[in-house]
């Protein structure tokens, strides 16, 4: 078959296009964002009576966790650090209408990080803390439930920004008593936080079928000389 420049141009001009879907990762897409005003009285203490505070939440998109952001302050006499971790809820198979407590065992954490005392202010406004979770590659599906947990040594007092109007619909604030045996839910308040996700986003690409075939035929013709 003889391929002329004219026929090649005609094929490219009139070709039927095939849509090829590829996957592109969108990093830092906001999934959950629940914040309140910077009212200094909207706070829950960790390290005085309770050793850990947690917020369960429902994932809204499928992907892997990228970052978590929350706001805290410390009492002036506090010298210790604050520990952050992320866990599954304690019972599998829950939905956004089944607000469970976090897995009580620190050994089952999916990721943990230390928030240094020096990075937390002792006066208002709140210190905004962002934890990078991307290296942990924690997978989550839409509707899964996780818990964000903040832990302090007893007596090392931190205040975590809270909303007492219970503004987050798909999770609960929880506290853990000193011996660490269980988390107790509080249905009248939520810790404020923001999560971002790494999400696979389909990106369509197109290519002309006749033009592709024509190019292959041209190559075959040349190779067959």
Instruction: Express each pLDDT in 69-99 by its tens digit.
Output: 999 999 999 999 999 999 998 654 444 444 5
> Does some domain include residue 173?
yes
pLDDT above 70 (res 212): no
Choose between 26 and 65: higher pLDDT: 65
> Does some domain include residue 215?
no
> Does some domain include residue 209?
no
Task: Say how far residue 122 (Cα) sits from the centre of its chain.
Answer: 28
> Does some domain include residue 196?
yes
Tell me, what CATH number does 156's domain have? 2.60.120
Question: What DSSP character marks residue 135?
Answer: G
> Does some domain include residue 216?
no
Q: CB 67: neighbour CB atoms within 10 A?
A: 17
> Does some domain include residue 32?
yes
218 three-state secondary structure: helix
The predicted model scores a pTM of 0.76
E-assigned strand segments in the chain: 17-34, 43-46, 52-58, 63-74, 82-88, 111-115, 127-132, 139-140, 145-151, 158-163, 173-176, 183-186, 190-191, 193-208
Phi/psi of residue 127, each to 5°? -85, 125
Domain that holds residue 146: 24-204
- Structurally, the chain folds into a number of domains equal to 1
> 215: which 2 tokens?
């190019």
């Amino acid at each position: 078959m003889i391929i002329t420049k004219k026929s090649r141009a005609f094929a490219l001009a009139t070709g039927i296009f095939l849509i090829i879907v590829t996957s592109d990762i969108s990093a830092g897409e906001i999934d959950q964002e629940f914040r309140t005003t910077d009212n200094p009285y909207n706070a829950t203490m960790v390290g005085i009576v309770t050793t850990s505070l947690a917020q369960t939440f429902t994932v809204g998109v499928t992907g892997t966790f990228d970052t978590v952001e929350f706001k805290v302050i410390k009492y002036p006499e506090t010298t210790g650090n604050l520990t952050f971790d992320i866990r599954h809820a304690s019972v599998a198979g829950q939905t956004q209408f089944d607000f469970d407590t976090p897995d009580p065992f620190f050994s089952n954490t999916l990721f943990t990080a230390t928030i240094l005392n020096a990075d937390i202010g002792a006066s208002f406004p709140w210190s905004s803390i962002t934890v990078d979770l991307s290296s942990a590659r924690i997978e989550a599906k839409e509707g899964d439930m996780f818990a964000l947990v903040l832990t302090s040594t007893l007596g090392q007092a931190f205040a975590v920004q809270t909303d007492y109007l219970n503004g987050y619909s798909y999770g609960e604030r929880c506290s853990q008593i000193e011996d660490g045996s269980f988390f107790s839910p509080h249905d009248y308040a939520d810790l404020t936080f923001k999560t971002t996700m790494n999400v696979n986003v389909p990106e369509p690409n197109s290519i002309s079928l006749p033009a592709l075939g024509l190019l292959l035929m041209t190559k075959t013709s040349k190779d067959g000389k």
